[in-house]
Structure 1
Amino acid sequence: MNRRTFLKGCAAGGAVLAMGGAGGMAFLDSAAFGALPEGKDLQRILLSPHQQGGVFVNLEPAPVLADNSNFVVSLARWLMLKRERPKPQKPLPHVRVDVRNLEENALVWLGHSSFFLRLAGKNILIDPVFSDYGSPFFFSNRAFAGTTFVTADDMPRIDLLLITHDHWDHLDYPTVMALKDRIGCVVCGLGTGAHFRRWGFAGKSILEGDWGESLDFGELKIHFITSRHFAGRSLKNHDRALWCGFVLEVPGFRLLHSGDGGYGSHFKALGERFGAVDLAIMDSGQYNKNWPTVHMFPHEAVQAALDVGARHFMPAHIGRFCLSQHSWDEPFVLAAQKASEKNLPLFTPLMGKVIPLTRELPAQPHWWEGLE
């Protein structure tokens, strides 16, 4: 999610308050908005070197908006924004696949930043959004036609649910609740677990981590990595939960999912820490010159992939929602151009296609070409 979408959601919430009074307050306090960390969970956050007064901060400055404009000015600018080709004219192509019986290490892109992975015998979901809206409001942030093709009923038991941060286009309440009875463990940044506790998940099933920490699941290792972004499902819990990415390691393969976030020196540091990664999945969309520090432009995403020593680069945070001014396919086009210039193998599978994970990933067609 980007800052303007967040502001629009807040504005919509304000409208609910204005029109509904106590009813609006009740809506904004409903379960879908999650909860704030408290008790022992809050005490753990206060020990983190990445917070100040219980609020998480980026390693490098990431201002709300580049021009430091206020909420009212930003909202007005958002409402007046003219967009060209914000969504495809026809349903986007995808593959219907049965992920219940995958035996080998494999990846399935489900659109935007959502992935199903089979690694070391475990079923893993990252940031699943199976709803038609990446928002608490039915009139905001609707998915492109053809991209809502997966339901919770299509999923097997999920051993590990990984959440990069708590924005609505990454942590989708209806999806989580539909999957609840088949989720083994939730892996998320510090503070994000409070939402799951409110939603009835057992505390022992929630594994929270800070940047630089790791979890060991035998052949599978999961590392919490730095990102340059922000968090919050409403104004009252802004930046009270940590945003992050993940590195997943199994014998013979290493995958990096950046989560949302702008470019920064942390990518070079990750390259120095982990060495080469076989696949770098990078935030490459919903960018804008007005918020350059919290999402990467495609050329920055390519550079970030080079920084971490990626053998293959996959642009993500695209292909499902319109959260910025650029055309729906611009990130694909620019990422392909820049990756070609840098001789970096581009990896762009169709949504739903099963890809076996090996060190030499097969080239994928530019499926967006020719689509309006």
Structure 2
Amino acid sequence: MISNLNAHVPAQDYQSAHFQAGRFQNLHPTEPTSLRKTLAITWRFFTESKVAAEPEQTLPVRTLTRAELEALPDTGVHIVKLGHSSVLLKVNGAYWLLDPVFSERASPFSFMGPSRFHQPPISLDELPDIDKVLISHNHYDHLDKEAVKQLNAKTQQFLVPLGVEGDLIRWGIAAEKIHAFDWWQEQEDQDVMVAFTPTQHFSGRGLSDANRTLWGSWVIKTAHESLYFSGDSGYFPGFKDIGERYGPFDYTLIETGAYDADWADIHMTPEQSVQAHLDLRGKIMIPIHNGTFDLAFHSWYDPLERVLSAAQQQGVVLNTPTPGDVITINQAYLNQAWWQSLLAQVSR
């Protein structure tokens, strides 16, 4: 929600069906952003009291080393939640990063803005060479400028929404390493298919660049595994369209956090996140976009408690790993509601 007054405003004219008058559009109407609404939400952040917005205790994080990653089999798909929406994948031996955010704050400023509840389970320096970095949209909690710059030397490809390539080029990434996607565009690379699919959200890193770049989600399919990564989205009929075209999915990584009535059409409640998983024809759901930054008015654990309850009511299989846990698609796992032990300690 914090803007950078000096953010660049792209001037490109994209040949896209949902790019009109210099800005990208959602498939379905959403409440337009206005200065009045932005000021009202900002006032809430400064004046509204919060309960348990940040954890009182140290959150569990499993430290991960490069040696442990290299010891994982070079077949199949291995998933590591790094925190918030940042995810590390090992896909048939190649390493991928989804929305890698390693900075202390999800903010354009180093001295203010939402700060981390926990450190990443592995540092940027410790990471092995990266085959692909996939970005869902350009908000600060998904596109980390310093992380991108540090990853440049060890990354072969950056897959980004239309418009975001301009940011990366200005940050020193070579244009030939960047692949910009419109919705429904696909890339086949060494028997792995990726597709950029719609979400209902918005973009912008400043006061004047709203919706100048695209936003979306990612589908990843190998010969034997399939994965969906939501980025950020309000609940919308597009989830069913994606499920019909690309499902079923072995795992869905679904946004579950930072929801509020003031922005209900661009972020989902946990109950809607579970429904999105069902629409996508997912088998196992990992809730992301929670447990790392305070970006809304609910408690830090509310997304996890509510998504667990909704999943149980809907018969959805949930996996809630701590940062650093390794999950391998098509292998058994032991799921634990790790946050509940912390809540029990606080209530004593």
User: Considering the TM-score relative to the shorter chain, is it more than 0.5?
Assistant: yes
Tell me, what secondary structure is at the counterpart of 1:281? Answer: strand
Tell me, what secondary structure is at the counterpart of 1:278? Answer: strand
**Aligned partner of 1:142: which letter?**
S
**Aligned partner of 2:236: which letter?**
G
Q: Residue 79 of structure 1 corresponds to which residue in structure 2? A: 46
**Aligned partner of 2:319: which letter?**
F
**Aligned partner of 1:224: which letter?**
F
Deviation at 1:225, TM superposition (A): 0.7
1:142 and 2:115 matched: yes
Which deviates more, 228-237 or 189-198? 228-237
1:362 and 2:341 matched: no
Q: How does 1:152-301 map onto structure 2 within 5 Å?
A: 152-301=124-273
Task: Return the alpha-carbon distance in structure 2 between the equivalents of residues 278 and 305 of structure 1.
Answer: 11
What count of residue pairs does the alignment treat as equivalent? 337
CA contact (8 A) 1:229 1:294 kept: yes
1:50 and 2:21 matched: no
Task: Return the alpha-carbon distance in structure 2 between the equivalents of residues 200 and 310 of structure 1.
Answer: 38
**Aligned partner of 1:312: which letter?**
I
Q: TM-score, normalised by structure 2?
A: 0.93
Task: Return the alpha-carbon distance in structure 1 between the equivalents of residues 317 and 332 of structure 2.
Answer: 9
Task: Return the alpha-carbon distance in structure 1 between the equivalents of residues 213 and 140 of structure 2.
Answer: 13
Deviation at 1:233, TM superposition (A): 0.8
Distance verdict in 2 for CA 1:361–1:215, change over 3 Å: farther
1:90 and 2:57 matched: yes
Task: Return the alpha-carbon distance in structure 1 between the equivalents of residues 236 and 141 of structure 2.
Answer: 23
State percent identity of aligned pairs: 33
Q: Residue 16 of structure 1 corresponds to which residue in structure 2? A: none
Task: Return the alpha-carbon distance in structure 2 between the equivalents of residues 308 and 68 of structure 1.
Answer: 35
Q: Residue 346 of structure 2 corresponds to which residue in structure 1? A: none
Task: Return the alpha-carbon distance in structure 2 between the equivalents of residues 235 and 53 of structure 1.
Answer: 17
Deviation at 1:78, TM superposition (A): 2.6
**Aligned partner of 1:48: which letter?**
S
Tell me, what secondary structure is at the counterpart of 1:109? Answer: strand
User: Unpaired runs of 5+ in structure 1?
Assistant: 1-5, 14-27
Per-residue deviation, residues 5-53 of structure 1 (Å, max 9, x unmatched): x2xx23xx5xxxxxxxxxxxxxx43xxx4x4445xxx24x1x1001111
Distance verdict in 2 for CA 1:97–1:150, change over 3 Å: closer
1:314 and 2:286 matched: yes
**Aligned partner of 1:77: which letter?**
R
Q: Residue 3 of structure 1 corresponds to which residue in structure 2? A: none
Distance verdict in 2 for CA 1:80–1:356, change over 3 Å: same
**Aligned partner of 1:62: which letter?**
T
Task: Return the alpha-carbon distance in structure 2 between the equivalents of residues 130 and 242 of structure 1.
Answer: 22
